[in-house]
Copies of this chain bind each other. A is one copy, B any other.
Amino acid sequence: MDLRDENGWTEQEFLERYRPAEYERPSVAADMAIFTVSAAAEDNYRKLPEKELRVLLIQRGGHPDLGKWALPGGFVRPDETVEQAALRELKEETGVDRVYLEQLGVFSEVGRDPRTWVMSCAFLALADSSRLRLQAGDDAAHAAWFRVGYRLRREGKEYTPGGLVKKQQYELSLTSELAELNATVERTVTLTEASAEVGYAIVADGGLAFDHAKILACAVEWLRSRVNDSALAFPLLPSEFTLTELQQVYEVILDKELLKAAFRRKVADLVEETDRYTENAGHRPSRLYRRKLEALG
């Protein structure tokens, strides 16, 4: 590039003279909501165990928010992308390295971290529970998989001049052997002629650190809104699975029962049969399926 700027410099000359600006810079953390679907305990040998949606949380071992539960994560380094940082932290804290990873968004509310200017680049990760092994990180006193519940509790509309504001309070309940957290998040949809805006506010953090209740609410909503489009359920299952297991993943994410026949029709093109069946189930065995790679793009 031989173009010269108003100082008569080429790009090369400009870069040699360039000194990072005096602007203040934020720390950027990659935090992630890693979900898995695991089987609850079942005493009746005949019945299939119920599936549960679970998310990994780590109890903070230092200030700020000492003792509260937080999403695993860490700061992004200059030699990596935010995705690489997320995968690195995930590997360090759970030992998993091949997961489905998706950006949720940047959470940058002023004052969200009392130490300094920190924005969080939040990720959603999905992993097959059979491949997980949990490793508590160095900064974590404890780590645990929490059962996730997310339900609408209250809803209200309000008409304003030229618009409509809709407020919904969702209860986010997280349960594990170590703790039971109940956070309340308010989702506000502001609708005007020209724009639409969705905002989240934490009404009660329920023992979750920073603004992580908000991130988790976004993560669950993201999951629910996208489970149908793409093949989001497969990363949550082992490579061979029954159609009932696949259906249970959908049901656990949507928190809603689906009809078997319709579900099977819908996923028919996404999977392919194997010759194998489940065994010793206490009832009729079930054919195992594989994800059909040809499908989807």
Given contacts A27-B23, A28-B26, A108-B76, contact A99 B195 (CB under 8 A): yes
B100–A194 touching, CB < 8 Å:
yes
B residues near A195, Cβ cutoff 8 Å: 98-101, 235
Can you sample 24 A-B contacts with CB below 8 Å?
A5-B61, A5-B66, A11-B65, A14-B64, A18-B115, A20-B27, A20-B116, A23-B27, A23-B75, A25-B28, A26-B28, A28-B28, A28-B119, A76-B119, A81-B108, A81-B110, A82-B108, A98-B194, A99-B194, A103-B106, A163-B293, A164-B293, A193-B239, A194-B234
CB-based contact A11/B108 at 8 Å = no
Residue positions of A touching B, CB distance < 8 A: 1, 3, 5-6, 9-11, 14-15, 18, 20-21, 23-28, 61-67, 75-83, 98-101, 103, 105-106, 108-110, 114-117, 119, 121, 127-128, 131, 159, 163-164, 166, 168, 189, 191-197, 225, 229-231, 234-235, 239, 290-291, 293-294, 296-297
Q: How far is the CA of A172 from the CA of B116 in the complex (A)?
A: 40
Please give the distance in Å from A22's CB to the nearest CB on chain B.
11
Flag if B63 contacts A5 (CB, 8 Å).
Answer: yes
B293 contacts A231, C-beta separation under 8 Å: no
- A221 → B minimal CB distance (Å): 12
Smallest Cβ-Cβ distance to A194: which chain B residue: B98
| Partner pick for A98 among B65, B77, B114, B192, CB 8 A cutoff | B192
Closest to A189 in B: B297
Q: Are A27 and B28 in contact (CB under 8 A)?
A: no
Contact check, A166 vs B63: say whether CB atoms are below 8 A apart.
no
Q: Are A3 and B128 in contact (CB under 8 A)?
A: no
Known: A1-B66, A18-B115. 17 other contacts (CB 8 A): A3-B67, A9-B63, A14-B62, A14-B64, A15-B64, A18-B116, A25-B27, A81-B109, A98-B195, A99-B195, A101-B197, A127-B194, A189-B297, A191-B296, A193-B291, A194-B235, A196-B230
State in angstroms the CA–CA spacing of A294 and B81 once bound together: 42
A294 to B192, CA, bound (A): 11
| B26 adjacent to A76 (CB under 8 Å) | yes
Within the complex, what minimum Cβ distance (angstroms) separates A245 from chain B?
A: 14
CA distance A232 to B9 in the complex (A): 44
Most chain B CB within 10 A, of A15, A65, A297, is at A297
Instruction: List 5 A-B pairs, minimum CB-CB distance, nearest first.
Output: A14-B63, A25-B25, A193-B239, A164-B293, A81-B108
